[in-house]
Amino acid sequence: MKSMYLKVLSLLFLVVLAACKSDDGGDSSPEEDSNAGNNLALGVSAGDLLTGGNFQRMVIEFVYSEGFRPRQETIDAFRTFLNARVNKPGGIVFVETVIDPPAGAPFNATEIREIEANNRTQFNTDDTIAVYVFFSNGSAFGDTQTGFTLGTAYRNTSMVVYEKTLRDVSLDNPDFDLGRLEITTLNHEFGHILGLTNILGDDIHEDHEDGINRKHCIINDCLMYFEAQRSSREMLRQVFRNDEVPQLDELCIADLQAKGGK
In the complex, the residues that contact Zn ion under the rule CB under 5 A are 217, 219, 222, 224, 249, 252
Minimum gap (Å) between residue 206 Cβ and Zn ion:
9
Q: Which is nearer to Zn ion, 102 or 188 (CB)?
A: 188
Minimum gap (Å) between residue 13 Cβ and Zn ion:
42
Q: Which is nearer to Zn ion, 183 or 224 (CB)?
A: 224
Minimum gap (Å) between residue 167 Cβ and Zn ion:
20
What whole-number distance in Å separates Cα of residue 32 and Cα of residue 35? Answer: 5
Quickly list DSSP for 51-96: -SSS-SEEEEEEEEETT-PPPHHHHHHHHHHHHHH---TTEEEEEE
Q: Which is nearer to Zn ion, 115 or 224 (CB)?
A: 224
**What is the Cβ-side half-sphere exposure of residue 249, based on CA atoms within 13 angstroms?**
15
Q: Which is nearer to Zn ion, 77 or 222 (CB)?
A: 222
Minimum gap (Å) between residue 35 Cβ and Zn ion:
25
CA 117 from centre of chain: 14
Q: Which is nearer to Zn ion, 112 or 224 (CB)?
A: 224
What whole-number distance in Å separates Cα of residue 80 and Cα of residue 70? Answer: 15
Minimum gap (Å) between residue 192 Cβ and Zn ion:
6
Q: DSSP character for 102?
A: P
**219: helix, strand or coil:** coil
What whole-number distance in Å separates Cα of residue 232 and Cα of residue 176? Answer: 12
